[in-house]
Amino acid sequence: MRTFDNSTSSTDLFRTPRVFQRMLVTGGAGFIGANFVRLVEQEWPQCEVVVIDKLTYAGNRENLAGTKAKLVEGDINDAQLVDDLVGNTDVIVHFAAESHNDNSLKDPSPFITTNIMGTFTLLEAARKNGVYFHHVSTDEVFGDLEIGAPTKFTESTAYAPSSPYSASKAGSDHLVRAWARSFGVPVTVSNCSNNYGPYQHIEKFIPRQITNILDGRTPKLYGTGEQVRDWIHVDDHNLAVLDILSHGEFGETYNIGADQKDINNGEVIELICELMGRPGDYEHVADRPGHDQRYAMDATKLREELGWSPRYTNLREGLEQTIAWYTNNRSWWSASKESVESTYASQGQ
Ligand code: NAD
Ligand code: DAU
């Protein structure tokens, strides 16, 4: 069993950084995980990365093309496989999840199996092998905030998840903290706001609208479109995860958010339409049941204790880069477009 230096100090920035030679990334063939693997190769070239990914509809081998990462196709619920992989790594970075709210409203079952049971399986392997476990979670565990209010979620906001997806993520966060407290597993947790950027599945809001326009379809706004999300570029999320891995304090949770001024879905869709030369050309469709109204993250702890700050501070520029990526990588998304849209159409969305 390894031991870890976790001496606390008020100047965490100056703590000796942890350095890893081997890293296990769960869900590394998905959107954020694949961008993370690319970032690790760039920032920590000494580190050998192994990815475990079930390659569900959301996972794609191509997302790791050109990287040196070893991809093991497998389920995080496969205890034997997980134990073998965890026994040969220095750190687990846990991204694997069922991640789409709308899907969780149709069939919650895989959300419970992967997000809760899968996290349990990984934690047991981390406990047995004495391996550091970083858990990637979401702002949605805190529920939602009132539109127009000045409040933000902090690390001590009470959990109040609304959907089967967010409830399953909340459950997994609780397991991680319990394994730290009861069994001494070295853990950190991060809760991040809405990501955007390359390789995001086209079921999600921003890539759905970009590819709708590229494919000659009309962008679709749920309900009134007044809901607010706290958009962050995926690289900024992943840079924060690297900061936490290297000098975050074991047992601690860090909120990640880019401090965008509140922008609602209607304004985001207007901006995408304008940037793509189709101003105002979108339609309203059926709203999401139980739709969370507003998310806003207070990331002061991450900024002050770990020295993180976002590189993408201008959503317009981040969207321009993202639009260019989907425009230049049509073959990555075009085969799945028809089936994604026919599923949405069957829901009136
Ligand atoms: P994604 O759906 O794009 O990718 C998930 C990956 O996990 C896929 O590659 C999939 O094949 C894999 N996977 C699913 N079930 C698995 C299983 N049982 N075993 C092994 N692999 C499995 O998701 P994402 O948007 O990249 O999100 C990654 C993580 O970040 C999730 O934990 C999510 O809750 C969290 N998160 C996402 C956002 C966001 O805006 N997308 C924000 C905050 C936190
Ligand atoms: O906040 C973090 C969360 O962000 C992550 O934990 C989730 O994994 C991730 O999917 C995302 O959840 P959301 O439900 O906020 O993201 P989504 O892209 O599905 O929707 C963003 C907003 O846009 C939401 O208010 C619903 C709305 N929407 C969505 C789609 C797909 C539309 O108006 N039209 C659409 O076509």
**Locate tokens 């999320």: which residue?**
237
What is the mean pLDDT of the segment spanning 294-317?
A: 97
**CATH label of the domain that carries residue 234:** 3.40.50.720
pLDDT of residue 1: 42
Ligand 2 pocket test, pick from 114, 157, 190, 194 with the greatest ligand atom count within 8 Å of Cβ, gives: 194
Greatest Cα pair distance, the chain, in angstroms, is 59
Instruction: Break the chain down into helix, strand, coil percent, rounded to 5.
Output: 45, 15, 40
Ligand 2 pocket test, pick from 189, 229, 297 with the greatest ligand atom count within 8 Å of Cβ, gives: 229
State the total domains in the chain: 1
- Residue 318 belongs to a domain: no
Residue 9 clears pLDDT 70, i.e. is over it: no
pLDDT band at residue 2 using 50, 70 and 90 as cut-offs? very low
In ligand 2, the atom with minimum distance to the C-alpha of 206 is 18
Q: 44: closest CA among 72, 71, 63, 25?
A: 25
- Residue 178 belongs to a domain: yes
Residues 176 and 327: beta-carbon distance below 8 Å: no
Tell me if residue 312 falls in helix, strand or coil: coil
Residue 189 clears pLDDT 80, i.e. is over it: yes
Q: Is 58 in the pocket of ligand 1 (CB under 6 A)?
A: yes
- Is 199 one of the catalytic residues? no
- Residue 334 belongs to a domain: no
- For 53, the domain range is 22-196+230-256
- Residue 71 belongs to a domain: yes
- Is 226 one of the catalytic residues? no
pLDDT in tens, 70-124: 999 999 999 999 999 999 999 999 999 999 999 999 999 999 999 999 999 999 9
- Residue 332 belongs to a domain: no
In ligand 2, the atom with minimum distance to the C-alpha of 291 is 25
Rounded to an integer, what distance in angstroms lies between the CA atom of residue 253 and that of residue 191? 8
The CB density around residue 83, as the number of other CB atoms within 10 Å, is 17
Tell me if residue 288 falls in helix, strand or coil: coil
Cα–Cα distances (Å) from 257 to 134, 240, 289, 303, in that order, read: 18, 9, 25, 10
Concatenated DSSP letters of 206-253: HHHHHHHHHTTPPPEEETT---EE--EEHHHHHHHHHHHHHHPPTT-E
Rounded to an integer, what distance in angstroms lies between the CA atom of residue 214 and that of residue 266? 19
Q: Is 203 in the pocket of ligand 1 (CB under 6 A)?
A: no
What is the mean pLDDT of the segment spanning 46-56?
A: 98
Cα–Cα distances (Å) from 182 to 3, 70, 134, in that order, read: 17, 33, 17
- Residue 16 belongs to a domain: no
Q: 168: closest CA among 111, 130, 89, 234?
A: 111
Token output for 136: 């990637």
Rounded to an integer, what distance in angstroms lies between the CA atom of residue 171 and that of residue 99? 14
Q: Is 54 in the pocket of ligand 1 (CB under 6 A)?
A: yes
Per the residue annotation, which of 53, 140, 203, 252 is the catalytic one? 140
pTM of the model: 0.97
Per the residue annotation, which of 53, 98, 132, 165 is the catalytic one? 165
Rounded to an integer, what distance in angstroms lies between the CA atom of residue 95 and that of residue 97? 6
Residues 182 and 188: beta-carbon distance below 8 Å: no
- Residue 305 belongs to a domain: no
Ligand 2 pocket test, pick from 101, 213, 267, 270 with the greatest ligand atom count within 8 Å of Cβ, gives: 101
Q: Is 134 in the pocket of ligand 1 (CB under 6 A)?
A: no
pLDDT in tens, 249-283: 999 999 999 988 899 999 999 999 999 999 999 99
In ligand 2, the atom with minimum distance to the C-alpha of 223 is 33
Rounded to an integer, what distance in angstroms lies between the CA atom of residue 191 and that of residue 257? 9
Query: Which phi and psi (to 5°) does residue 215 adopt?
Result: -95, 10
- What's at 179, amino acid-wise? W
What is the mean pLDDT of the segment spanning 240-257?
A: 98
- Residue 324 belongs to a domain: no
Angle at 237 between CA 234 and CA 242, to 5 degrees: 125
Q: Is 201 in the pocket of ligand 1 (CB under 6 A)?
A: yes
Token output for 193: 């706001």
Per the residue annotation, which of 53, 98, 139, 203 is the catalytic one? 139
CA 98 to centroid of ligand 1, rounded, Å? 6
- Is 298 one of the catalytic residues? no
pLDDT of residue 144: 98
Sign of CA dihedral 48, 29, 334, 193: negative
- Considering every ligand atom shown, identify the ligand nearest to the alpha carbon of residue 232 and give its number: 1
Angle at 240 between CA 134 and CA 69, to 5 degrees: 65
The CB density around residue 173, as the number of other CB atoms within 10 Å, is 20
Residues 229 and 196: beta-carbon distance below 8 Å: no
Q: Is 56 in the pocket of ligand 1 (CB under 6 A)?
A: yes
